[in-house]
Amino acid sequence: MKTMFRERWPRRLWPILVLLSLLVLAVEGVPHAYSASSIAQDVPSVAQRPQGIPTPTLAAAGAQGVQPAIVNDAPSTPSGAPSSAPSEQGSVSRASATQPHNLIANGSFEDGFAEGVATGWQPFATADVRAGWHDDTWRPVLYDGNHAQLLALKDAEERDRYVGIFQAVLVVPNADYILTLHGLVRSDEGSVEASDYGYRLQYGIDYAGGNDWRSRQIEWVELPWDEQPRTAPPPGGYRIETYTTTIRAQSSLLTLFIRGWKKWIGVSEGNYDVDGISLVMAQAAAPAAGVSAPPKPTPLPGMPQTGAPVAGDNRMVPASVALVILLVAGVLWQSRQRHG
């Protein structure tokens, strides 16, 4: 009987050995780690719809009570001045797509002129002076682009003569707006000392949206821009001035007036260039705060972080194999003891 068992027990053992081999292969064939980063994600980007609609600009009505003015037919570019023809590629505008919306129509003066007055603006002037409006393309006096609005006064027969333009815009009552103007003042005298401050540039706001530049409701502000030589740029070029202030709308409409002022009687000429005029809501003009990514959640103790490799304990593999071998060996030993 012992001999028969010894000859037959290897046959009884082979299923156990096969099972043991399959178990070892299964344990070693299981991947021990994976990473979320190995999963390819092919998600197409979705175009964002633009947010916000620009505030419309209300075209101003014709000026009321404005006396007719004599338009100066002389060219705006001084004789002997550099060519005013723009370059073939044109000037690069300083405006950016990220800038807040400008409520002023044609504030850059790049959208055309009609009889010397920029599109979107209306003219006004006093009598007893030779007044003019021109599309100024003389490069030394431009702040931006290829065009500026030139206002001109000469041959004044009375003191305190004016020439100007105005525009009404829709606004939000009680909202703050930032007004910015660029330009310069030029005269035949060439300096405030020589002219006794005879040529000044002013802006005014009618917070009720009126179009009469003589209205007492207009608050006139004199710009601190001293005059420069009219036809001969100083060494280093003209000084292009900038003025910025904050205003608060009082109704749904306001009117911006800009005027050149010739104080004294005389034949001398004053030129007033304005360019790059903007009116933007103060809140929109403030730089947008950067949007930061949300903080990563803190993983719970013993839990893997999202996207991190999830690994098994490699020490469990040899321990499991050893345990199985011990169990099989124990079965064989007990079997031999019973049949020995």
Give me the CATH number covering residue 187: 2.60.120.260
| pLDDT of res. 13 | 59
| CA 51, chain centre distance (Å) | 14
| CA 5, chain centre distance (Å) | 93
What does the pLDDT average to over 88-98?
42
CA neighbor of 153 nearest in space, from 52, 86, 227, 84: 227
Residue 254 lies in a domain: yes
Measured torsion, CA atoms of residues 249, 123, 101, 209, in degrees rounded to the nearest 10 = 20
Residue 312 lies in a domain: no
What does the pLDDT average to over 71-88?
42
- Tell me the C-alpha to C-alpha distance, in Å, between residue 79 and each of 85, 132, 138, 230: 14, 17, 11, 11
The CA-to-CA distance between both ends of the chain, in Å, stands at 9
Residue 316, CB half-sphere, CA atoms under 13 Å: how many?
7
Averaged pLDDT of the chain:
76
Determine phi and psi for 268, rounding to 5 degrees. -65, 155
44-53, 192-201, 279-288, 330-339: which is most confident: 192-201
| pLDDT of res. 301 | 57
pLDDT surpasses 90 at 114: yes
pLDDT surpasses 50 at 74: no
Distance CA 132, CA 145 (A): 22
CA neighbor of 114 nearest in space, from 137, 139, 127, 133: 133
Q: Are 241 and 183 in contact (CB under 8 A)?
A: yes
Both tokens assigned to 203: 């802006």
Residue 53 lies in a domain: no
| pLDDT of res. 24 | 55
| pLDDT of res. 260 | 99
Distance CA 124, CA 105 (A): 18
Distance CA 205, CA 216 (A): 11
More confident residue, 298 or 276: 276
CA neighbor of 169 nearest in space, from 62, 246, 57: 57
More confident residue, 53 or 255: 255
pLDDT surpasses 70 at 303: no
| pLDDT of res. 31 | 44
pLDDT surpasses 50 at 209: yes
What does the pLDDT average to over 190-197?
98
Residue 338 lies in a domain: no
Question: pLDDT tens for residues 122-140?
Answer: 999 999 999 999 999 999 9
| pLDDT of res. 264 | 98
Both tokens assigned to 96: 């950016």
pLDDT surpasses 60 at 149: yes
Q: Which domain covers residue 162, as residue numbers?
A: 70-285
Confidence of residue 283 (pLDDT cuts 50, 70, 90): confident
Number of domains in the chain: 1
For tokens 């306001």, the residue is 254
Determine phi and psi for 275, rounding to 5 degrees. -160, 160
Confidence of residue 79 (pLDDT cuts 50, 70, 90): very low
Residue 97 lies in a domain: yes
pLDDT surpasses 50 at 76: no
Residue 241, CB half-sphere, CA atoms under 13 Å: how many?
18
pLDDT surpasses 70 at 218: yes
pLDDT surpasses 70 at 219: yes
| pLDDT of res. 333 | 61
Contacts of 303 (CB under 8 A, 6+ apart): none
Question: pLDDT tens for residues 234-263?
Answer: 999 999 999 999 999 999 999 999 999 999
| pLDDT of res. 236 | 94
Beta bridge partners of 135: 149
Distance CA 140, CA 233 (A): 8
Angle at 324 between CA 319 and CA 326, to 5 degrees: 95
What does the pLDDT average to over 141-148?
98
Distance CA 265, CA 130 (A): 12
pLDDT surpasses 60 at 66: no
Confidence of residue 77 (pLDDT cuts 50, 70, 90): very low
Residue 7 lies in a domain: no
pLDDT surpasses 90 at 195: yes
Q: Are 169 and 251 in contact (CB under 8 A)?
A: no
pLDDT surpasses 60 at 223: yes
Residue 196 lies in a domain: yes
| pLDDT of res. 265 | 98
Residues in the chain: 340
pLDDT surpasses 80 at 35: no
Residue 21 lies in a domain: no
| pLDDT of res. 69 | 38
